[in-house]
Amino acid sequence: MAIKAEAGSLLKLYEQVVPVVSWEELGGRGQIYTLPVVVEMMLLQRLSERGTQQEAVHALLEGRMDGLLSKSKRVQSKRISPNTGGYARACGRVSVEKVEKICDQVLGELSQLVEPDAKWGCPVMLLDGSSLRLEHTADILGTFPASRNQYGLGHWGILKWVALHDVVTGIAQRPAWGPMYGPEAVGEQSLAKQVLGRAPAGSIILGDGSFGIFMFVEEVVRGGHQALFRLNKAQALSLGGKTLPAQGECSLCWKPSAAERKKYPELADAEVKGRLIVRSAPGFRDSLYLFTTLEQEADDIVALYSQRWNLELDLRTMKGTLRLEHLHGKSQAAIEKELLIAVIAYGLVRAFMATAARTTGIEPRALSFTRAYGLINAMGAKLCSTDPLLRQQTYERLLDYIAKSKLPNRSKPRSHPREVWGTGKYFPTKHHFGPLPKPSSKSK
């Protein structure tokens, strides 16, 4: 996949966060923390390894946002406070709707940098869902309730989200999210319908068995996209019947079941024509049952589905490297803005990787995201320098270093079962889910 725009356009995008638009001030005249300054600081905070508000304020003091600051008296006299209070209050004044608009604009610009793969003739988008842990506050738990098991109610709020990423570059679309538990809990298919509307026109939508149901597949096809979804064995036997081969494929017309027609009356007469492919593939424990509307060779389709694992790696990277495993905002608006800014930061890093890969003719996913993230963090100050020559030199050096950050070649494909090493525990697990008892007056 090639990059259409010149390399300098990405540098310009990084400098300005988003293309030049009519920025709306957060406060009155003379304010330091205008909307572009706050968004830039939130982005730099997410691109920092520690990610503290103090680091973002330090970046402001050292001049990384000089091109965005207003000509106020405090700016001209260099009397910007080093405290984080003003920045924290400004973050609270930014609305979620404004950050969503910025997110769509930035990701839209980044998506235009990528051309469809000649082999498929259209973008291939990976679809999957995950969950995030939230803080324990009344506002958050009211919207995103905690989980419950045989021991009782959990402590942390849980957010369910669905992501849609480009298969080659990893650049994401704006995700959809909702509560994972409680009376207002939403399913992955409902969230997937929301992100489906943000997919590039005529895309191939690729997902696992969670999305391999008639209701969603019909939605994909009706939206003008191609479908490639995995089915479980029971579904495949129900669809293929006696014509289902042990290894091979068969053409079929997928119609809703009686239960689906009752649940979705509007789909009673709907149907989706496609193929059911049955294959044993390396790295998969069981046979693959794939339903697709694609017309390419079955081997190519199976090879394409095997790339779905890239989205698992993307989600792990966002949770680990970008620190999304646990969102620390204390309100619903705070965590939603935190998630959106993280998606913007992730997209920018992936765009740098795609640009660097183009210069050397390798695949963007052959490069290390963590090393690219660290390089951008280390060179970010010079990338935002007021000296255009220094910016350009730093940009070219950054792309060269990222292009050299190749991942090791694996001698064999990943195995299907996923296992992790257990983490050591130094304290007993807490099972008390109610308020803590008051300390005794005799306790020391």
Domain count along the chain:
2
Say whether both 76 and 49 belong to one domain.
yes
Beta bridge partners of 209: none
Asked if residue 377 and residue 278 are part of one domain, the reply reads no
Q: Are residues 121 and 182 in the same domain?
A: yes
Q: What is the pLDDT of residue 426?
A: 60
Question: What six digits make up the tokens of 62?
Answer: 């050292």
Q: Where are the alpha helices (DSSP H) in 200-297?
A: 214-222, 233-240, 258-263
Domain boundary among 317, 342, 375: 317
pLDDT in the model for residue 230: 94
**Phi/psi of residue 364, nearest 5 degrees:** -60, -35
Check whether residue 250 and residue 136 sit in a common domain: yes
pLDDT number for residue 368: 96
- Which tokens hold the place of 228? 């490639």
Q: Which of 403, 418, 434 is the last residue of a domain?
A: 403
Q: Name the residue range of residue 66's domain.
A: 7-97+331-403
Give dist(CA 293, CA 272) in Å, integer: 8
Does 84 map to a domain? yes
Identify which of 287, 288, 289, 284 has the alpha carbon closest to the alpha carbon of residue 239: 289
pLDDT, position 36? 83
pTM of the model: 0.87
C-alpha to C-alpha distances, 225 to 129, 242, 264, 265, 311, nearest whole angstrom: 19, 29, 21, 23, 19
In a domain, 444, yes or no: no
Q: Are residues 220 and 275 in the same domain?
A: yes
Task: Examine residue 193 and state whether it is found in any structural domain, yes or no.
Answer: yes
Q: Are residues 140 and 244 in the same domain?
A: yes
Torsion sign across C-alpha atoms 219, 223, 225, 226: positive
Find, among 264, 291, 325, 88, the residue nearest to 209 by Cα: 291
| Residues 235 and 384 placed together within one structural domain of the fold | no
- Shared domain for 187 and 231, answered yes or no, is yes
Does 141 fall in a domain?
yes
Mark whether 132 and 207 lie in a shared domain: yes
State residue 24's pLDDT score: 52
| Sequence-ordered list of residues with C-beta below 8 angstroms from that of 217, at least 6 positions apart, any chain | 211, 227, 229, 254, 272, 291
Pairwise CA distance, residues 225 & 92, whole Å: 38
- Asked whether residue 424 is assigned to any structural domain, the reply reads no
Same domain, 309 and 354: no
Whole-number Å distance between alpha carbons of 108 and 121: 19
Asked if 353 and 267 sit in the same domain, the reply is: no
pLDDT along the chain (444 residues), means of 10: 42 52 48 85 88 90 79 77 91 92 87 70 94 94 91 92 94 96 94 94 94 94 96 89 82 91 90 92 78 94 93 94 93 95 94 90 93 92 82 91 90 62 62 51 46
Residue 65 lies in a domain: yes
Specify whether 297 is located in the same domain as 217.
yes
In a domain, 76, yes or no: yes
Long-range contacts of the stretch 424-431 (C-beta < 8 A, 24+): 431/151, 431/152
Sign of CA dihedral 38, 39, 44, 50: positive
In a domain, 279, yes or no: yes
**Boundary-marking domain end, from 317, 339, 368:** 317
